[in-house]
Structure formats: C-alpha cells, structure tokens
Amino acid sequence: MSKTKYYLRPFGILNKKDGSLLKKKNQAFIVNSFYFSHIELISRNKSIKKKTYQFSDFKKILEKKKEIKDLFSNLGYKNNRIEKILFKNKRFSIFGILNITPDSFSDGGENLDLNKAVNNAQKMLENGASYIDIGGESTRPGADEVSPQEEIKRILPVIQKLDSKSVNISLDTRNSSTMKFGILSGIKIINDVSGLNHDKKSVDVVCKHNIPVIIMHMPGNPKNMMKKNKYFDVVLDVYDYLKAKTDSLISSGVKRENIIIDPGIGFGKDYLQNLDLLRNLSIFHSLGFPIMLGVSRKRFIDSISKESNPKNRIGGTISATLFGMSNGIRIHRVHDVRDVNQALMIFDKMMN
C-alpha cells in the first residue's frame, strides 16, 4: 500500500495591519514575512483530495498527523544566509537578466559587446537589481547545447569586468567547469536550470565552494523539455521533484541554507500548466526553502494577451510578478528591472 503524501498551500494574503491583528487572535499565520488567513490541505495517494480551512480551524488538526505538523513548521522557515546576501532588510530581491548569447528568446545578441553588456548591467543595478544573473547559453525551448568552452569564452570577460566594480553576480549555467571559472572570478550564486542534473560534477563544486545554488525544475533539457511535459498533476509533480531533489542534495553534502528553489515557469510546461503552477505557488513554501520566480516576458503571457514580441510583455510580467509576491515569493528574475522594481515597491508599501 502506497503512503499518503500531504501538502499545504497557504492562501488569503493579508496586509500587515490586519494580519498582525488576526495573528494575535490565532486567525492568521506568517509565511516568509507575509500574513495568511487560510490554508489548503492536500492529500495524495491513489487520488488527490483537497480541503480548505480557516487557520483557526486548521490548528485543531495539526496535532493529529506528524507529517502535517512538520509541513506546517516548514512554512515558518528562516534562512539567515540567504536573507543576508539577497535582501539586506529589503522585502524583495531582483535578479537582472544579462544573457551573453546570440539566441536567447528575448535579449539574444544584445550583450555580445563587452562595453554594452557592462552598461546594461549598470543600468539594472541603478534601477533596483540586487544581482546580475549572467548566462552564456540559451535555455529557451528547443535551444542547442553550448559547450562549456564557448560558454566560458562568452561570459568570463563580463564577469571579470563587473566583479572589478564589486557587482553582485549570479551565474546561470548547467556546467561544472563554467561554475568553477565563475566562482574563481567572483560570482556569488549559481543558478542551474537543470537543478544540478546536467553535470554530475556540479554538486561537488557547490559543496566545495559552499556557494548558494538555485535549483529549478525542468524535465529533460531545453532541446526536448516541451515533449516531456506529461504530468499527473503539474503542481504536485513539480513539488515532489523539488522535494526529492533537495533531499538528495542535502544528503550529498549541499547545505540546506545554500538552497533556493524555482518551479521553472515555462520550462517543460505548456500555457495551462504554467497557469496552474502560478495559481498554486504558495504550496512550495512548505518545502522550507526560499523561492525564486522567473516569469519575465515568457510565452504564457503571449497565450493570454496575444503579444508575440517578448519585449512588449512588460505588463504581463508585472502582473504575474505581483501575483507571485501575493503568494509570498520574494525573489524575482526579470529583464525589465526598473518597471518591475517600481511595481514591487508600490505593492509592498500598500501591503506593509
């Protein structure tokens, strides 16, 4: 007989004033510094069952099952290391995307000139980015694989130039050799769309250098991921993958405090699957890790708004990002830093 799995999804976000008042009455709880009033309990065995509770009612069942109690304790996770390096007393953190590629879906070819790449990075920092996320390989659907040698050739001059200016840099790569060069050149975070699956030596690199890593869900690889988007339930399947992956990494020596998770919007998910994930983002808090969200200019926005030009999807990007923030997501990877930063500042001020 298979074991029943449980999941918790907080919902009903509250502003700080109302949330603080209701928390004193045991009618609200805090997740990642946001107040919520309700919770959905999901069980999965041969079928999936869902039941929603007001928090005051949910508290009554917490003691009945240890698995549920443990999940709820995960909702109160604190990661002091990530808090210190990403937020520095800010409510949210923005990673500005800088692709040093000829073929990325939105900004391919724009940053191949070193001076232009550095200038674009500086603009994103001035507009509110906490980190510049540099990548030398396109991972859009159908993209061809790039050798680590070519990837390093593309990104290293930009990383070295920005590091000389004391810029906080994250490195978007699937290759262990690229990670090594990046770390030696000053990058502070690894962002691996393969979740450290593409190159088995990557886990050793992350462990050896004690560096934070963003673990994303992607079935297969960029070339075939859109053919592998077969799920029984996309939300719970992605959750189960991230649960198994983070458990495995911790067993392999990666420190829990060094892990950030990303559900991988657009990576091996179609339009409806992306929307399902976005509607249920807060479920991933019960894994107990900081969460990154990357919705910037993505194709699901075109599916709704019929805007084929990625650069004209800023409105959709802002809408999806704010929806993520209303689910307690505080780390956002975007192209249009100024507009998203402004939107998040206003949203945060109204909520707090």
Which runs of E-coded beta strand occur in 160-268? 169-172, 189-192, 213-216, 259-262
Provide the residue type at 228 as one letter: K
Mean pLDDT of 131-143: 89
CA distances from 172 to 96, 178, 350 (A): 12, 9, 33
Burial class from Cβ neighbours inside 10 Å (0-12, 13-18, 19+) for residue 112 reads: middle
The residues, ordered by sequence, that sit 6+ positions from 6 with a Cβ below 8 Å of its Cβ are 41, 42, 43, 44, 65, 67, 68, 71
Please tell me the predicted confidence (pLDDT) of residue 341.
98
Please tell me the predicted confidence (pLDDT) of residue 216.
98
CA distances from 78 to 53, 153, 287 (A): 24, 38, 12
82: pLDDT strictly greater than 90 = yes
Please tell me the predicted confidence (pLDDT) of residue 1.
45
- What is the CB neighbour count within 10 angstroms for residue 334? 27
Catalytic-role residue among 174, 245, 330, 333: 333
Phi, psi torsion values for 272, nearest 5 degrees: -70, -35
Spatial contact of 69 and 63, defined as CB atoms under 8 Å apart? yes
Please tell me the predicted confidence (pLDDT) of residue 47.
95
Would you say how long the chain is, in residues?
Answer: 352
Full set of structural domains in the chain with CATH: 5-75 (no CATH), 80-351 (3.20.20.20)
167: pLDDT strictly greater than 50 = yes
DSSP 237-278: HHHHHHHHHHHHHHHTT--GGGEEEE--TTSS--HHHHHHHH
Confidence of residue 105 (pLDDT cuts 50, 70, 90): low
pLDDT tens readout for residues 244-302: 999 999 999 999 999 999 999 999 999 999 999 999 999 999 999 999 999 999 999 99
Q: pTM, whole model, 2 decimals? A: 0.95
Catalytic-role residue among 9, 174, 269, 298: 298
94: pLDDT strictly greater than 60 = yes
The residues, ordered by sequence, that sit 6+ positions from 57 with a Cβ below 8 Å of its Cβ are none
Please tell me the predicted confidence (pLDDT) of residue 293.
98
298 noted as active-site residue: yes
Confidence of residue 108 (pLDDT cuts 50, 70, 90): low
69: pLDDT strictly greater than 60 = yes
104: pLDDT strictly greater than 80 = no
Structure tokens at 293: 């969200």
- How high does pLDDT run on average in the chain? 94
Distance CA 178, CA 285 (A): 30
Spatial contact of 332 and 95, defined as CB atoms under 8 Å apart? yes
Mean pLDDT of 182-209: 97
CA distances from 221 to 142, 164, 204, 214, 242 (A): 9, 34, 21, 17, 16
Please tell me the predicted confidence (pLDDT) of residue 142.
80
160: pLDDT strictly greater than 80 = yes
